[in-house]
Amino acid sequence: MKIFPIVFLISLLFFFGPKSNHTNADNAEVNFGDISICLIKIDGMKECYSNPLVKVYRDQFIFENNEILGLYLNNDVHSKIDKLGEFLFDDYFKVYSMSSINNMSLGHDELEFMASENI
């Protein structure tokens, strides 16, 4: 399952790329170490990890070495956010990183190594 870490690492490049002077007040920003990451909009979904109910619910399922940066729920699930845990859902999108790379400067060689080692 090497493809998932590769896709995730490539997506990080988009988050950390050159910043535009244009900002969108609707996009959430999260800090990961000494950088600020702007979470994108996803059609039909809402980013809601900062919601205390969502955070408590999702943190039950977090892997020890991962840090959740954002969590998107589809609009239907989001409309029932106060009842999380009372129904099943699988339509969500999680943005996360390995805690061990927090505050590290990673270049192409490091990303290639991580992808080849399936870290």
Please report whether residue 41 resides in a domain: yes
Query: Which strands sit side by side in the sheet containing 92-98, from one edge to the other?
Result: 45-47, 66-74, 92-98
Please report whether residue 55 resides in a domain: yes
| Residue 77 CB contacts under 8 Å (≥ 6 apart), including other chains | 89, 91, 92
pLDDT digits (tens, 9 = 90+) for 41-66: 989 999 888 888 888 777 777 777 88
Q: Which domain holds residue 72?
A: 3-18+28-117
Please report whether residue 23 resides in a domain: no
Q: Percent of the chain at pLDDT above 70?
A: 76
Please report whether residue 79 resides in a domain: yes
Q: Is residue 75 scored above 90 in pLDDT?
A: yes
Work out the burial of residue 15: count CB atoms within 10 Å of its CB; fewer than 13 is exposed, 13-18 middle, 19 or more buried: middle
Please report whether residue 85 resides in a domain: yes
Strand partners for 31: 36
Q: Structurally, how many domains does the chain consist of?
A: 1
The predicted structure's pLDDT at residue 76: 93
